[in-house]
Structure 1
């Protein structure tokens, strides 16, 4: 990646001149990358300050199975990334190849491919974007200069030279998973879980819930300081030509995993199917395994699937996540609680601890002689992919930080913002939406296995509908030139659906455009004209409100987005070609303040909407 120095500079604290950019972006995550690209396409310069030697965040570190419930809900630069992934596999292997099939239209990809695609996108705008790696920002007061409610400059550590470097900018973007820049800027934040009494959210506070089932004994819904667990998204393969065996780690502690032995023999798991499993069935399962068979317990996973949930990626690889149905898996609850507010020395130590734990778990499942031989044999079919992370022992370089600080900004996102107001309807529509998105209210465990509990505390999932995300979740009140597209404002449960990379990419894109408009207008971030921002987002193919029958390639997309956010199209389909009826005429006249006289069935919904759309825009 070429390093492009900004044209402007200003005196540093040491008397030297420091580079000044339009945007200073802390964090080379997908959100930070998209912020820089969106701004570059509007002519603005950016510097991305990435702590590691690689950009791309979690997608470049094992999260290859894209977490989105409705494809097409989130578009813009995210779907550009997806399209480029698919094109990569087509160009390299052919349109009819297994690799193209396994990439699932570009939504599933190998870690190395994600990094290549992000790199290619950045390179196309390299005249405007500078990428500096191995730059660490620490959330300490001395590393940020605030003047009259604005950030003037920040100081980062060059991890290679061990020297401090200063960067000035017009707008600063916190694209870190932890929210370190926002914390240094003294933006109020939350860590932990709100109780149900605060926002009346499903799954709030302390909860024990069968996976895909009901809540159970021990649930109190009380607030606490617990942080949902982290893990590594491990890239495994069963291709012998590309597989490396998992070796016993130096700090191997067998006792951490022994409770899994009975789970394997009996088929015990955390799914709702356990309500139908009897002691006799579990004893019969033990006999089956002793005879060399495999589990017969409904819902039970076998082999490597008992300890990791695997989604197939191209080239016989997998995205190995924590197994939702297991008491022991790749998550390491409790021990990560200090991460959001700790320094990098502590975080690096925990990252090594988690790596050792994860490798030890796989080693235990493949080799411990108290496990059934048939189980160990099935598990040993899998190893680390030797063509991934070649500079890091073929292991992911970044911990999966599911939740760090959650800042309190001008809008606060809760479960109600993602939940239908009534069955079949939308969640509340935010007129200031900067993206649509969709994923479940989804949190991983906060505590390790507890005797007698049906699952781990806090491991939950509740359904949502496609929702809109308001600009205000990333706009703080206290600092006028700071945007927070990753550590956004919300409750633990509200954040649990926003926290997926497609949504973070879309928020990054919105942050880049917002920053550009603020610079052009010499205004505070909070004073950027929302409709102007939304028009720019739509020009960059972003979806602000989702319709099943309209996409960004439609000639009517912009009109539908504009009218949808204003309440003209509350359903899930725009139905532009349908004839307009009398009730619709009355409603749209009331919303617009116009007096359109139209005979029922005389024109289509599209024709009337277009007439109102033109009238409203003429008024402006």
Structure 2
């Protein structure tokens, strides 16, 4: 029997080398086999639609197979859908084929770390390539084409109908599609199609207190003020500048100072004053590490400002500058950094001099869409509730990563304890957030969705730009394409509830909890009711599905879940006064109950309320008491009557005779909505 490793190698070879037979037209054309593009293609492929997936690199995976060898997820539980499938396959490969690797063994034995190899959160690029090839090969309706770049888009009327590409030999190819998805980092197809876009930074505003020119303590080496501090000097003015690019090159510990891995002469433009270094330690299997040094390392600001709007020849020139800059850093590591044992990994990017294929484009164009995501959509406190960003019931993806901008302009003094202008790292104020469907939909074109260069501000993009989030947005784009084509409607007409249902059926998360995943029977119900604000979790983002639901929680679930309008005639209960989290929901049910003719809200009166004084009331509703099956049935049937709904033939069947669990309650209410 072939091992998984052998199978993956075979799949990678056949999928990469065998040319696909081009069709005259496809159901879906996806430009960019980035994680977003792969996820979009897989969603469409699962629906048996024909898909053309076109990529500039010789392999799929975008930056995750071109040097960025880890999933930047603040919590692994935020990953879902296609990307979770990718992670699980990587984890299985590490735990089986690489079980004896020192890094795998050490991380399995130690407390869990953020970029855990055994958990599938970090990998060698060649392994990422193999897994993505395997996932694509499982969908026979997907045809992948590599080493082609987009050079034009064809628009008929107001609809994008085709994309023109150019291959490595200079030949042009036209891909016609009933739906087109621009999954490029640069937003090239959208720009070719005439979609308006932003490039650079917005000015500071009430919605975006960290926008524009800014100096902060982000990535400082010395602690000389409280963490999360805005420093003097930033004007807050808008400009056309974007955050630093780099090459995330991969090095391996060869265990010796001399050998082919050593760079004998420095690259053009080498200047040791541009760099400084802290010792490397391998954190990937086979003694490897992907190199990231934010201030005086492979990050570099200046040339990237022109990159997004440059043509392909000019982009190649800019990329060459970054390549030389990165190799200069490696030369510095081997000499001034006194780690001559590290060099480019000789088993990675073997057809490209062991150097990554793709420049790390952290940010480029951002389209004008039906909704623009801003800092206030991501910030816990500006419009959020102190734990999460504001609720979006039209969510198609979640984000959970700090607003994290690398410098926009280089530091001017290598001895400075802080990074350059434009760097922000807003860990404390970034909570889990939802991303509305409208960010994918251009304002002025039909037939096109854009899941990477989405409609957002610069500050919002500094969080969204992590590949697991882009993958989730790509999956949403693929699902939207399926619905639009099956229904014969435009992308802006896609019914979001149906889109959400399709995504949830694929295991995609639309609201974040640490303890709710697609393996749970009521996963979709919990997610949908959370988007309505009918249920929530605690300060640690845990839903606690096994806990008994309380009277206060059930009141909120019924009011929000069934769409009852708020009605508050007074504060009737001593144990649920104004300020109590369930006050308005309990009072709404009280009003609905007393006016219904069939009272259904149970409460106890120890002293009747008088008209003379509300404070004389001694009525108790016991909001924190667990709900029994009898109380659940009575409250739910009464709320349904007031909402003008019926039981729809559903019967209440409870798992316990004494209490109703939170997960169980969500499942029942979702069926009755």
TM-score range for the pair, normalised by the shorter chain length: 0.7 to 0.9
Worse overlay, 178-187 or 46-55: 46-55
Pairwise mapping of residues 325-364 of structure 1 onto structure 2 (< 5 A)? Answer: 326=295, 328-364=296-332
Q: Could you tell me how far apart the structure 2 residues matched to 1:207 and 1:221 are?
A: 10
Deviates more, 1:70-79 or 1:423-432: 423-432
- Is residue 186 of structure 2 the alignment partner of residue 224 of structure 1? no
Contact 2:94 2:118 in 1 (8 A): no
CA contact (8 A) 2:375 2:460 kept: yes
Residues 1:602 and 2:628 are matched in the alignment: yes
Contact 2:345 2:354 survives alignment (8 Å): yes
In the TM superposition, residue 202 of structure 1 has moved relative to its aligned partner by 2.5
- After TM superposition, list the pairs within 5 Å mapping 1:329-408 onto structure 2: 329-367=297-335, 371=336, 376-377=337-338, 379-408=339-368
Whether the aligned pair in 1 keeps the contact of 2:204 and 2:212 (CA below 8 Å) is: yes
Does structure 2 conserve the Cα–Cα contact (< 8 Å) formed by 1:411 and 1:470?
Answer: yes
SS of alignment partner, residue 392 of structure 1: coil
CA separation of 1:246/1:460 partners in 2, compared to 1, >3 Å: closer, same or farther? farther
| Match of residue 118 from structure 1 | 132
Distance 1:544 1:163 in 2: 42
Tell me whether 1:132 sits opposite 2:145 in the alignment: yes
SS of the residue corresponding to residue 512 of structure 2 reads coil
- Which moved further from structure 2: 77-86 or 310-319? 310-319
1:195 corresponds, among 197, 203, 206, to 203
Aligned to 2:550: 581
- TM-score normalised over the length of structure 1: 0.83
2:394 and 2:436 in contact (8 A); partners too: yes
Task: Name whichever of 467-476 and 192-201 sits farther off.
Answer: 192-201
Larger Rg over CA atoms: 2
Matching of residue 432 in structure 1 with residue 380 in structure 2? no
Instruction: Identify the match of residue 285 of structure 2 among 302, 314, 317.
Output: 314
Report SS of the residue matched to 2:44.
helix
After superposition, the C-alpha distances for 1:268-316 in whole angstroms (9 at most, x for unaligned) are xxxxxxxxxxxxxxxxxxxxxxxxxxxxxxxxx6335xxxxx7711111
Partner of 2:656: none
For the pair 1:36 / 2:41, whether they are aligned, the reply is yes
Answer yes or no: is 1:614 the counterpart of 2:671.
yes
Deviation at 1:175, TM superposition (A): 0.6
Counterpart selection for 2:406 from 444, 448, 453: 444
Q: Distance in 1 between matches of 2:370 and 2:348?
A: 41
3-state secondary structure, aligned to 2:92: helix
For 1:106, the equivalent position in structure 2 comes to 120
2:579 aligns with: none
In the alignment, which residue of structure 2 is the partner of 1:72?
A: 77
Q: Give the distance between the partners of 2:96 and 2:663, measured in 1 at CA.
A: 39
* d(CA) in 2 for partners of 1:424, 1:318: 37
Distance of aligned partners of 1:243 and 1:445 in 2 relative to their CA distance in 1, 3 Å threshold: farther
2:192 corresponds to which of 184, 193, 211? 184
CA distance in 2, matches of 1:598, 1:46: 54
Equivalent of 1:419 in 379, 390, 394:
379
Aligned to 1:502: 468
For 1:78 and 1:346, how far apart are their aligned partners in 2?
33
Instruction: Pick from 260, 263, 268 the counterpart of residue 252 of structure 1.
Output: 268
Q: 1:154 aligns with which of 145, 159, 163?
A: 163
What SS class does the counterpart of residue 160 from structure 2 fall into? strand
The worse-fitting range, judged by mean Cα deviation, of 338-347 and 578-587 is: 578-587
Decide whether aligned partners of structure 1 residues 593 and 120 sit closer, same or farther in structure 2, where only a CA change above 3 A counts.
closer
Q: Does 2:419 align with 1:455?
A: yes
Pick closer, same or farther for the CA change 1:41–1:357 going to 2, 3 Å: same
Kindly indicate whether structure 1 or structure 2 has the higher relative contact order, using CA contacts under 8 Å at least 6 residues apart. Answer: 1
Question: CA contact under 8 A between 1:426 and 1:570: conserved in structure 2?
Answer: no
The answer to whether the 8 Å contact 2:253/2:282 transfers is no
Distance 1:613 1:365 in 2: 58
Aligned-pair CA distance for 1:576: 3.5
Distance 1:170 1:224, change over 3 A: same
State the Cα distance separating 1:210 from its structure 2 match. Answer: 4.5
What are the ranges of 5 or more consecutive residues in structure 2 without an aligned counterpart? Answer: 1-14, 108-115, 221-226, 565-591, 594-599, 603-624, 630-659
- Contact map agreement 2:213 2:421 (CA 8 A) in 1: no
5 Å matches for 1:533-572? 533-571=499-537, 572=541
Q: What is the aligned counterpart of 2:253 among 238, 256, 260?
A: 238
Q: Does the residue aligned with 1:178 lie in a helix, a strand or coil?
A: coil
What is the CA distance between 1:72 and its match in structure 2? 1.1
Aligned residues: 543
Equivalent residue number for residue 290 of structure 1: none
In 1, Cα distance between equivalents of 2:421 and 2:90: 37
Deviations 1:137-179 (A, max 9, x none): 12xxxx322112111222211222x222111110000010100
